[in-house]
Every structure is written in structure tokens, then in C-alpha cells.
Amino acid sequence: MAAVPSANRPGRLDRAALTGVLVREVVNFGSYWRASTFSSTVEPTIYLIAFGFGFGSLVSTVNGLDYVQFVGTGTVATAVLFSSVFPAMFGTFVKYTYQRTYDAILAAPVDTEELVTAEALWIAARAGVFGCAPLLVAMVFGLNPSWGMLLVPFIAFTAGFGWASFGVLISALMKSIDNFSYVTSTVITPLFLVAGTFFPISGLPQWARILANVNPLYHCVQLVRHAVFGLEWLDLWHLSFLIVFGLVAWRLAINRMEKKLIN
């Protein structure tokens, strides 16, 4: 049975409602944080080690950087992607389809906008932390620390919010959890490969470079890389793209989830 929107709402994005959902997520995270942390940080780290020392033995430098440094900064975006879009897709679907968690939450003074926003904020906060793991590993293998690295958690949070909202949107659109494989194969994997993580996009065909420039993951890679090695004016464009991507995905996720849960 669909949830009924709460009456006498104090206003949009009520702080108490957001806090309530966030506290629930934090408490619940205590029961599965080990598995979540392992899956979200180990896989990007394996990519870093495999590509950094595999291709690194064949390619010494890329764009003036040691290949391990090039890949180490790039895999931060990979960790952000893995720790945001997939938990949002699968976790959201399970909560509203099988566990009926969202029906219970919406029975309280919480609306869909607050529910989706809190979920995206929580997943983005985790992505901001998990995204730093490859950077720490890269530092062990020779990446020099810099003050710009302090910006990386904020970049990861911004990108993670967009990908989390995108994941919630996909979960609201799909009728079966098996259908997620279509999105993973046709959207996420191509964007993952054309993001400048493991090789510069300058050597790709024209169509691939166009795809990269509308790829949020590419803009995250560029921001992280420039934060570590030196910011540029162009980074305002990369940051603006991530912010717009996050806002658009957030509003679409709220709209579709409201139709799924309320209408």
C-alpha cells in the first residue's frame, strides 16, 4: 500500500526530518560498515595497483606525471562512483520494494523530498570518505602529499551526491532489480571507461572526447587531479558541471520516487 504524504508539514526540507532519516542511516550503517567499506575501497585500490604497476611497467609518464600518480588520482573518482551509485541503486530498491522501509519512514512527518535528500547526503558523505582510500594508497607508492588534497573529500562529496541521486532515480525507474544490469552495461561502464582515469582522453576519437566532456566522472577525475597537482581556472567549469549534474539528478530522483511511493 502506497504511503500517504504527511499533513501539516512545517516546510520543505525540514531539518528535523532530514536529521531523523540521517540518524537512522548512521545507526543502521553500524551493522554493515565493514562489508560496505571493504567493497567500496578495495576494488578501486586493486585497479590502482593493477594498472599502476601493470601498465606502469610499460608507460612511465602520462601528461608529465608518473603513471602511478596519474592513476592514483584518477581512481579516487572510481571509488566515489562505486561507493555512491551502486549503493543508491540497489539499497533504495531493496528498501522500498522488499523491506518497505520507506513506507514506514513516510508514515512519520517526512516527505519524499526529505527522504531522497537525506539518502543522497548520507551516501555522498560516505563517498567523500571512501574516495580518499586510493589517494592514501597512492601516497604509499610515491604520490607526494599536497595541501590541495584537503579538497578531495569535498570534491568526492559533490560528485557522490550527484551519483547517489542518479542511483535513486534509476531505482525508481526500474521495475526489477535484474534490470539494473542494463544501466550498468550501457551507461555506467562506458562512462567509467571514458573518464580519463587510466589514460588521457586526448588520444581518444572525437566522439569519445565529446562523451567524456558530458561525463560527470571525467569532471571528478579532472578536479581531483588538479587539486593534487595544481588547480586551474578550467576547474570552475568542472565544479559547475558536477553541481548542475547533482541538482538535476536530485530533482529527477525526487520526482520519480514520489510517483513511485505516493501517486
10-64 confidence digits (pLDDT tens): 457 888 888 889 998 888 888 877 877 777 777 777 877 777 667 666 677 777 7
Residue 83 lies in a domain: yes
Residue 3 lies in a domain: no
Q: What is the C-alpha separation between 199 and 63, in angstroms, rounded?
A: 9
Residue 115 lies in a domain: yes
pTM, rounded to two decimals = 0.88
- Average pLDDT in the chain: 86
Q: Which long-range contacts (CB under 8 A, 24 or more apart) does 178-181 make?
A: 180/89, 180/90, 180/93
Q: What is the C-alpha separation between 251 and 11, in angstroms, rounded?
A: 17
Q: What is the C-alpha separation between 67 and 59, in angstroms, rounded?
A: 7
Structural domain range at position 89: 15-261
Grid cell 568542472 is found at: 238
Question: Cβ distance 261 to 96 under 8 Å?
Answer: yes
Residue 5 lies in a domain: no
Residue 108 lies in a domain: yes
Count of domains for the chain: 1
The yes-or-no verdict on residue 260 having pLDDT over 60 is: yes
Q: Quote the pLDDT of residue 244.
A: 97
Q: Which of 121, 116, 128 is nearest to 223 (CA)?
A: 128
The yes-or-no verdict on residue 191 having pLDDT over 70 is: yes
pLDDT tens per residue, range 56-112:
666 777 777 788 888 888 888 888 998 899 999 998 999 888 888 888 888 888 899
Q: How confident is the model at residue 6 (pLDDT cuts 50, 70, 90)?
A: very low
Q: What is the C-alpha separation between 71 and 40, in angstroms, rounded?
A: 17
Q: How many helices (H) and strands (E) does the chain have?
A: 13, 2
Residue 238 lies in a domain: yes
Q: Quote the pLDDT of residue 263.
A: 64
Residue 126 lies in a domain: yes
